[in-house]
Structure 1
Amino acid sequence: MSSVQICFGEVRHTRLRPARNAFAYGVYFIRLPMRAIGAAPFGGKLFSRNRFNLLSFHDRDHGDGTLTLVDWIDGLLRREGIDDADGEIWLQTFPRVLGYVFNPVSFWFCHAKDGRLRAVLCEVNNTFGERHYYLLDTGMAMPFGVELAARKVFHVSPFCAVEGGYRFRFMHALRTHGGREQERITARIEHHDAAGTLLQTSICGTAHVLSDAVALKAFFSFPLMTFNVVARIHWQALRLWIKRVPFFTKPMPPSSELSR
């Protein structure tokens, strides 16, 4: 049975124009094998499912709030003509820390029965309480590392117009450390417009099987991490404002919550 994972790594972000702005922060995120765990609790003392704890995951933070998460993602994929993502579905997201979370983006890695990646659903949230899904689908199983693309339709930052598109690249590697094999997960996103690449973002991490010791390490290595996510978003916005980066008012949200 696949296990819940906590991944330790970092987020990097670089804006190339009209003023350069770059930062990197240490983070951790979780990876959940949704079919394997079903609706079961995690079983630890410090990391809970659907109840308050040091760290926690709440099903209602994702999906439509009416179906189980597996039924919801399966239904969404079928409606979009994807009926062969019948392998494991890994959800990569931030956990709640002391009951609080804000996830700028979560990834649903949907695999075929033979283990190959079939599609990726990118679940994007903005600070206005809105959510949008980008479904990345090539029409067939694909290897990690292939470039995937989507047209930008959802407002995320007041310093970026809703135009252009995204290029995604997801990597999954195994490496040996201390005599043990570890998974290394990387997601890279480029936002481009008519003038070329505007933003480069990545999140990467090395996976560890969930345990109370690993949860404790995560909590104290990056105290109040999810609170800091929001604080850092506003701090970087202030830096862009000081650098006189143009400001765009928020447009109406897209008519559909899903685009491909």
Structure 2
Amino acid sequence: MIGQAASALYVGIVRHLRTRPRAHKLAYRVFWMLLDLDEVDTLAGRLRWFSRNRFNLYAFRDADYGDRSGAPLRPQIEALLRQAGLEPDGGPLRLLTMPRILGYAFNPLSTWFCHRRDGELMAIVYEVHNTFGETHSYVAPAAGEARMVAQEAEKRFHVSPFMGLDMHYRFHVVPPGETMSVSIDGSDASGRLIAATMSGKRRDISDSTLLGLLASHPLLTLKVTLAIHWHALRLVLKRIPFFPHPAPVEPNVTLGREAPAAPSAAIGSSPT
């Protein structure tokens, strides 16, 4: 990307499929920002409708990520990489996330793409947020030359009261380029239980594009929260088994690993 900013917008769709004990699916249009940590201040300086750590139509707030203390994010993410046995060399850290919109944000999943100085992808950090105000990170190495990254990890974080912890995740990721996708299959002892895919097409970040997305995706981050609770109600009505909230897991990081490449079972992985 010589001469081109790494930061961008990705406009697309999120799809979820639950297979058991009764099928349930959802799909909604969303967009994300891919933010290179080294470019955030430059973006905030040139864009009228985007700011860092202050209110605007769109905003990036450091305290929404990592340990939520507002402490610098690069040392926090690099510490996670070292826990996974990886040694960062100061290469780009790029975060795929939904920004704050009119002061509100909720991201079920924010994904960190961690690169070496030569641009090769070295690891992915999946930062998961639940509706109980808790976070957990899954960290896994990545083969930088692969067009699709395949990883896996054991589930150790309570996300939904309709799924237990005795599950295994497989991640299939097309790193951000002209398109991107992150697919997660969750399986238990009986086989695949859920498939989730987020996918999108790249757009450059500009004030006009941001205003257009505000019109086409009004109150996006609030709608995500409302959709989570609406579908939770539907699962209750379908009499899906309920799992009480377990005690928080410490430490709040799980180490994953590379997995054999295989097509993801998630549906609808192409961006729309």
Do both share a fold (TM > 0.5)?
yes
Residue 11 of structure 1 aligns with which residue?
14
1:165 to 163, 168, 176: 168
Runs of 5+ unmatched residues, structure 1: 175-182
State the Cα distance separating 1:173 from its structure 2 match.
Answer: 6.9
Per the TM alignment, residue 55 of structure 1 is displaced from its structure 2 partner at its CA by: 1.2
Structure 2 gap segments, 5+ residues each:
256-272
Contact kept? 1:85, 1:118, Cα under 8 Å: no
> How large is the RMSD of aligned CA atoms in angstroms?
1.8
Q: Is the 8 A contact 2:37 2:94 kept in 1?
A: yes
Which residue does 1:250 correspond to in 2? 245
In structure 2, the residue matched to 1:214 is 209
Deviation at 1:137, TM superposition (A): 2.0
Q: Per the alignment, do residues 34 and 144 of structure 1 end up closer, same or farther by CA in structure 2, a change over 3 Å counting?
A: farther
Q: Which residue of 1 aligns with 2:33?
A: 30
CA deviation digits over 1:150-204, x for unaligned, max 9? 1001000010011111100111475xxxxxxxx1011000011111110000101
Q: Distance in 2 between matches of 1:208 and 1:42?
A: 19
Aligned equivalent of 1:91: 95
User: Number of aligned pairs?
Assistant: 251
Deviations, residues 8-38 of structure 1 (Å, cap 9, x unaligned): 1000000001000011100011100113446
The structure where strand makes up a greater share of residues is: 1
| Cα gap change, 1:66 to 1:44, in 2 (>3 Å) | closer
Give the conservation status (yes or no) of the 8 Å contact 2:41–2:52.
no
> What CA deviation, in whole Å up to 9, does each residue of 1:193-239 have, x standing for no partner?
11111000010111112111011011111100100111000111111
Q: 1:94-127 deviations in whole A, cap 9, x for unaligned?
A: 1111100011010001112232211000100111
CA contact (8 A) 1:112 1:141 kept: no
Match of 2:78 among 55, 71, 74: 74
Which residue number in structure 2 is paired with residue 100 of structure 1?
A: 104
AA in 1 matched with 2:124: V
The answer on whether the counterparts of 2:62 and 2:71 sit within 8 Å (CA) in structure 1 is no
Decide which moves more: 71-80 or 27-36: 71-80
Deviation at 1:41?
3.0
Q: Paired residue for 2:258?
A: none
Q: Give the aligned partner of residue 270 of structure 2.
A: none
CA distance 1:117–1:76, change in 2 (3 Å)? same
CA distance in 2, matches of 1:74, 1:158: 31
**Percent of pairs with identical residues:** 40
TM-score (norm 1): 0.90
Q: Aligned partner of 1:253: which letter?
A: P
Task: From 135, 144, 150, give the equivalent of 2:139.
Answer: 135
| Cα contact 1:167–1:191 (8 A) shared by 2 | yes
1:80 is displaced (CA, Å) by 3.3
CA distance in 2, matches of 1:133, 1:216: 32
Match of 1:2 in 2: 5
Could you tell me whether the CA contact under 8 Å between 1:36 and 1:88 is conserved in 2?
Answer: no
The 3 A distance-change label for structure 1 pair 103 and 13 is same
1:194 is matched with: 189
Aligned AA (2:86): I
> Are the counterparts in 1 of residues 63 and 71 from structure 2 also a CA contact under 8 Å?
no
Q: For 2:19 and 2:129, how far apart are their aligned partners in 1?
A: 23
1:5–1:141 CA distance, 2 compared to 1 (3 A): closer
1:60 aligns with 2:55: no
Partner of 2:126: 122
